[in-house]
Structure 1
Amino acid sequence: MRTIAQINEKILSRSAVVWTVEEVKARIADMGVTQIAKEVDVITTGTFEPMESSGAIINLGHTDPPIKIRKCWLDGISAYAGFGAVDLYLGATQEVDSIGIDDIPDVEEAKERGGGHVIEDLIAGKAVHLRAIGQVTDCYPRASFETTITRETINQFYLFNPRNLYQNFIVGVNGGDRPLYTYLGNLQPRLANAVYSNPGAISPLFNDPDLKLIGIGTKIFMGGGIGYITWEGTQHFPLQKRLENRTPVGPAATLALIGDAKQMNPYWVRGCYFKNYGSSLMIGVGVPLPVLNEEVVNACAVQDRDIVAPIVDFSIPRRVRPTFGSVSYAQLKTGKISIDGKSVRVAPLASIFRSRQVALELKEWIDKGEFTLTQPVESIPMDRAFIPQDRSASQIMLD
């Protein structure tokens, strides 16, 4: 029906018809797939959820005399300095260490602060304290350096996230006798609560389940700025079992993303902390889906009642934990699920409200002609298996 080039012509002339994926789902019964495919050019999707495999690349620029940084702390939080002389990588989950804590006036506050919070502060234009230790060489004679930086006083500052945009995830519960503090938050004993992370049917990868539209080079909304899909994400597992509608029954595809943090807005990039677990980063990510044919609309018609997630018991400390079966996202969003006949209250980590806002914001950008689509330069591999680290190399070779 259409090509991306044709859609971009309409976007630039401000004649493109753009709907959010929720609008498509709400009108599919009345209008039908064929009519929506004729009328709509782009469908926008969005999510706002914790994505802990994230971080920022920072280039400081050279000092005088120059320094080859080997250890560095930003507001007391260690940044990786194993690249070039003044290149850093600040991970979202990095926490204050025993050396960096000397830079923090409020030690108690520091315990609930991590790399994600520093990234948020830099995006917001706030000043961040930097302390660095160098390796003295003939070309880099400086041994140490201390200063204050902002996003305006550094060169490159971009997010490069190895694993974002989870296609699906799990529901966490605790069948044990004590509270558990996890990456899903506090799980109360004896199945007193349940937590899920994915926003469900409005999430980008549920609406392109086989990644036929999304690929390397796809331009996206990322943290309030423009980003791109760069590769498959870590732990990318597209071979996960799938329902007839092609949506996975558990964690499946993931994507690696990159975006200029100097364009981003702290409303869409927020540091967060999980008690007794650690810090993370919540990011708003929106993906536009070009309506090339009816198949695109048909995939976007999937509803919360049509997708499921496994209920996983965290009280068993193993890589493969027992489950209490699966539950639909429609049931999760009621706030209660039933486990072995017991009513269990449930809440999302993802912000459903902000996930919707991402899709709406991206729709507005496209309506204004400020955001065009890109043709992927390569498809995301859909044949990746998941390799655990509980077998020896010789066993893997024999397999």
Structure 2
Amino acid sequence: MAKTIEEINEKIKKGKAVVLTAEEIIEYAADKGAKKAAQEVDVVTTGTFGPMCSSGAYFNVGHTKPRIKLGGGKIYLNDVPVYAGLAAVDFFLGATAMPDDDPRNKIFPGKFSYGGAYVMEELVAGKDVRLTATAYGTDCYPRKSLETYISLKDMNEAVLFNIRNGYQNYNVAVNLSDRVIYTYMGVLQPNLGNANYCSAGQLSPLMNDPLYKTIGAGTRIFLGGGVGYVVGHGTQHNPNVPRTDKGVPKMAAGTLAVTGDLKMMNPKWLRGTSFTGYGVTLTVGIGVPIPILDEEILRYTMVRDEEIWAQVVDYSEAYPQCIPGNLGEVNYKQLKSGKITVRGKEVPTSGLSSYLRAREIARTLKEWIETGKFILTRPVESIPSVDSGIVFKPLRERPIKKK
């Protein structure tokens, strides 16, 4: 018998909801059977904790006396440049932004020891950061410079807004060349010296709702240790990829855009992260509740690591040169075993996404729901699925003729 989100919420409010994590549901459903489990279980919680570059935050810092128009000027937080193309005292900080004097890869490989993601972590930790700005001045906003310390509690709004998080599956990165390479998938040793992957596998949110039956715009989630919401599908959302018979994508597919109040978050779940030779990123904790509305949805949450396959891709040439194809497929049970076989060679594996932290997020979200601190929301719009016709396109370059 099908359930509704409203019915599940009533059980949550009464403390009677049955909530399991995406790990726990696997054995529970295997023991009870999918049909009975779907009747008994109300919510399955998921989790992921990994680097997510397309993250950022917008702020409103209030007006100075006399007023200053930061929009159109130059703004820095702890020497990290901030996007100033908004109104007088609104601005946006990107996770990958770096100080102007950072040497980048001029001294290779660059260390990338500080950037926007670290500023966000420090703000969430309650620390003061240095705000410096210059403006061009107007009749109504005459001030032309500003230098002050500021913290989250001083701001009117501080909102995390991430345009691409929670990737549904991803590549396994290897290096076929004879030199060490430095990538967003970490340091890759030459001649298939290691393999790096980045997903929580069976705990990952979009792996448990592979066709986006329950997750959509307006879905309430665990975000950065606080409560957030799904805005909609994220950038590079690519639902039309090869999938298993159970709908699980075999390569990078769906993504989420998410938002939440930065003031309610915890630095444990928002961490500035440096990738040697590549840059700065933000490691984000996300947990999504899956309402068990029927047996079909329950069956999706029964997915196991051995049923989730990923493409092994060479990052020394194939990836940077956009050469299609792969070096084979491996599943997440194999990846988590610590070794895979590529071209007949045993290759050690390492995950950039923390499975232990993902498990903790799923358990935390479970506790929030069981104690009535967190109720579910009905999406106001679905995420585009395999029938949407969406195809991820490369940039079509049109050379500009010089006059």
Task: Please tell me the TM-score bracket, short chain as reference.
Answer: over 0.9
SS state of the match for residue 23, structure 2? helix
Q: Does structure 1 residue 206 correspond to structure 2 residue 207?
A: yes
Q: Following TM superposition, by how much is the alpha carbon of 1:321 offset from its aligned partner in structure 2, in angstroms?
A: 5.0
Please say if residues 241 and 250 of structure 2, whose CA atoms lie closer than 8 Å, have aligned partners that are also in contact: yes
The normalised TM-score by structure 1 is 0.94
Letter in structure 2 aligned against 1:9: E
Deviation for aligned residue 1:55? 0.3
Q: Which residue of structure 1 lines up, in the alignment, with residue 303 of structure 2?
A: 302
In the alignment, what sits opposite 1:173? Answer: 174
1:86 and 2:84 aligned = no
Q: 1:111: Cα distance to partner? A: 4.0
Given that 1:168 and 1:249 are in contact with CA atoms closer than 8 Å, whether structure 2 keeps it comes out as yes
Provide the residue aligned with 2:322 in structure 1.
319
Match of 1:386 among 362, 378, 392: 392
Matched with 1:248 is 249
**Which residue is 2:106 aligned to?**
none
Report SS of the residue matched to 2:296. Answer: helix
Q: Is 1:345 aligned with 2:348?
A: yes
Report the equivalent of 2:337: 334
Change (3 A) 1:87 1:43: same
User: What SS does the corresponding residue of 2:152 show, helix, strand or coil?
Assistant: coil
Amino acid of the structure 1 residue aligned with 2:363: L
Q: CA deviation at 1:389?
A: 0.9
Structure 1 residue 390, shift from structure 2 partner: 3.9
1:355-374 paired onto structure 2 within 5 Å? 355-374=358-377
- 1:120 partnered with 2:121: yes
The whole-number CA distance in structure 1 between the counterparts of 2:325 and 2:213 is 33
**321 and 73 in structure 1: CA distance in 2 versus 1, 3 angstrom threshold:** farther
Question: What secondary structure sits across from 2:33 in the alignment?
Answer: helix
Matches within 5 A, 1:182-331: 182-316=183-317, 317-320=320-323, 322-331=325-334
- 1:106 match: none
- The Cα of 1:27 is off from its aligned counterpart by 2.2
Return the alpha-carbon distance in structure 2 between the equivalents of residues 344 and 390 of structure 1: 36
For the 8 Å contact 1:4–1:374, the answer to whether it is kept is yes
The share of aligned pairs that are identical, in percent, is 50
What displacement does 1:110 show?
8.8
Quick check: 1:160–1:257 contact (8 Å CA) kept in 2?
yes
Q: Distance in 2 between matches of 1:3 and 1:33?
A: 18
Aligned to 2:68: 67
Deviation for aligned residue 1:320: 3.3
For the residues of structure 2 that align with 1:307 and 1:392, how far apart are their CA atoms? Answer: 38
Q: Distance in 2 between matches of 1:270 and 1:142?
A: 35
How many angstroms apart in 1 are the aligned matches of 2:77 and 2:392?
A: 35
Instruction: Give SS of 1:57's match.
Output: strand
What CA distance in whole angstroms lies between the structure 1 residues aligned with 2:136 and 2:92?
Answer: 18
TM-score after normalising by structure 2: 0.93
In the alignment, the residues of structure 1 paired with residue 212 and residue 51 of structure 2 have an alpha-carbon distance, to the nearest angstrom, of 22
Q: Read off the aligned partner of 1:31 and give its amino acid letter.
A: K
Cα distance between partner residues in 2 of 1:351 and 1:119: 20
1:324 match: secondary structure = coil
Mapped to 2, the partners of 1:97 and 1:64 lie a distance apart of 28
In structure 1, distance between residues paired with 2:66 and 2:192: 60
- In structure 2, the CA distance between the partners of 1:357 and 1:261, relative to structure 1 (3 Å rule), is same
C-alpha displacement of 1:5 = 0.5
Q: Match of 2:280, SS? A: strand
Aligned equivalents of 1:12 and 1:305: distance in 2? 36
- Consecutive unaligned residues of structure 1, counting only runs of 5 or more, are 102-108, 394-399
2: CA distance, partners of 1:124 / 1:314: 35
* 1:313 to partner: Cα distance: 0.2
Work out the CA distance in 2 between the residues paired with 1:111 and 1:388: 28
AA aligned to 1:319 is C
Q: State the alpha-carbon separation in 2 of the partners of residues 119 and 321 from structure 1.
A: 36
CA contact (8 A) 1:46 1:203 kept: yes
- CA distance in 2 between partners of 1:248 and 1:124 (Å): 37
Q: Structure 2: which 5+ residue stretches go unaligned?
A: 104-109
Amino acid at match of 2:163: P
Contact 1:338 1:344 in 2 (8 A): yes
Q: Deviations over 1:86-139 (max 9, x none)?
A: 1111100111113x99xxxxxxx9941111010000001011011111121111
Give the CA deviation at 1:355.
Answer: 0.2
